[in-house]
Structure 1
Amino acid sequence: MTTTVPFLDLAAVHLDLRDDLDVAWKEVLAHGRFIGGPEVAAFEAAFAAHCEVAHCAGVANGTDALELILAGLGIGPGDEVIVPANTFVATVEAVRTAGARPRFVDVRPDTLLADPAAVAAAITPRTAAIVAVHLFGQMADVDALGKLASRHGLALIEDAAQAHGARYQGRRAGSWGAAAAFSFYPGKNLGALGDGGAAVSDDAQLIDRIRLLADHGRSVDDRFVHEVSGRNSRLDTLQAAALRVKLAHLDRMNEARVALVERYRRGLPSWCVPVAVDPAADPVYHLAVVQVPDRPTVTSALDAAGIGWGLHYPVPCHRQPAFAEYADGPLPVVEEAAGRILSLPLSPGMAPEQVDLVCEVLHDVPI
């Protein structure tokens, strides 16, 4: 079957930026500083400004960013960290790598983002942090979650891997918590040409600590002295150069995503229900997620028409074998949604006619 509408068309995204990417590539080849080159600091400064925060530390990937934030905050064995069960497993992996216990909570039925009431109920004397996961391109209710964190003396950490450029109450993703983690996995709204990630914060000491841990614990004053046991988690120069090129186009591409999802909302059949938008949020739609009553029938129809699709995520984290020991009980909202969610094709260069075609195919599904 020929693909008529790809789920994500990265080739088209990069073709549009090819000339600028070629220049960036040649500049890095010319100076040869493939680790720690000037493009890294330039991108970090530009991305911090985009997130409307003071500091950014580039790291190897988004999972590392979360782990390093937790480590930088001193969160570890004996601590609990509250996470929504509806997230990619990396959020939970980071908590476990830090040595802390994940405390899973349910989500709101409309946005499928963390339910602040469930978060409040999950706080115990061992709780050290709340992770606000900004899923599908929409920010969680960081106002309510931030107030909870302040009231209980907890750290609010943003997992912004899917929310580059999103806003809540006018403030960018990354500017609400003690720190935020971003992933630059190629399919993200701001994606590298491989792996990459960043931690952002207004806390200079925290970012300095993250840099120290990410560079083998190496002293900034003497490269042969290692102050702590760290790790190797660096954003490569080539990736930073590519990311800086793409960052200049991020807002434009996010606007294209918004327009495409609005077109979906106007054209989808009534039984195909898009994830709701929080009135205080300005999403950037990393994914076009809907809920459907009979997913196998729907995906079969899409397959027959050559239309790509995805699932984010059909097995909630508390039901994953790796984390089953931390499941405190059923989480009905996320469990029901896991059997109904479906991600429709979405790329910033997608033609409006392709959205119309997807909607036409869905209108013909016998639901």
Structure 2
Amino acid sequence: MPQPAPGVRAVRYCQDGDGACERSARDGRERGLESQGLTGQVAWTWEMVDRLEGAADRLAGALMSELSVAGVERRIADARADAAGHIAIAQRERDASQQQAEAAWREAASARDRADTAERDAASVRAEAGRLTAELDAARRECQDAKDEAEAAGAARLAAERERDRVAAREGELLASLENARSELVALHGRLSEAETLAEGQRVEADAAKRTAEDLRSAVRDAEAKRGQAVADCDQFQARAREFERHNWQLSRTAEELRAAVKALTAERDAARAEADRARRRVDALTAVTDGHRNAWGGGPQPVADREPPTGLHPLPPVNGSPLNGAAPLATDPLAGGRRATDPLATDPRTRNGHRLPHAG
């Protein structure tokens, strides 16, 4: 980039393209302002250089146009002319103000005079108003007193009329009460006669009541005696009841013991029946075996089987060849007595149900 003569500002941008180079450099610096590090610092430095150059250009223009000798003298002359005009205006305004102040003083003096006159007039008016107010208050008080007296008179008249009406009504009430009292007195005389008659009858009734009371007292004494006897009888009954309770308790215990004994006997009976059932089943089994042997031998006619005893108990077989309890096994059968003499099986202790027991010895 060719530079002008020394002492003139250096040209950093080409002048072609209507300042396109300068705009491009400015855009690059604006982008560099947002960068960090040395690039941003250099961009800020160039920004400061541009600003300083702009300030220098403006200062040079001002020196060339306004701060030259002719320009300064012209500005001084203009300032003096303006100051003279302002001074003349101020003097005229001062004179006008002085005139206005004098007029105001005169107006104030006249106003003070008028105020003094008005104050004197107001004082006289106030005095007259006070006098009129006092007269008005006195008239109002007199009017109020007259009204109060009129109201009091009206109230007294109304009270007198009410009192007259009340006295008239009271007089009528007293007359009516007097008539009622007279009629009541007549009625009381009649009732007094009736009361005397009733009193006489009540005396008679009282005498009868006294006699009845004496009879009742005698009856009460008799009732007390009977009650004492009843209490004694009740005590005896209670003693007998306690004795009966003790007897009942003993009977209850005896009944419980009997129930326990019955239960024990029932258990023994059940055990005996079970034992008898087992023995009967055993005898039946043995009888079946004997019948089988007899049929095998071609035996004779079968005897009739004995009936089941009513007790359901069969005599046990003899032990060691001896009959049970030293008697015949069928001695307990009540139906065997009729055929015991004719049936040899009935008298044979070694037979049962018409069969000879195999273990009878």
Which structure would you say has the larger RCO, counting Cα contacts within 8 Å and 6 or more residues apart?
Answer: 1
With normalisation by structure 1, the TM-score equals 0.17
**Scaled by the length of structure 2, what TM-score is found?**
0.17
The structure with the greater share of residues assigned to helix is 2
Which structure has the larger Rg? Answer: 2
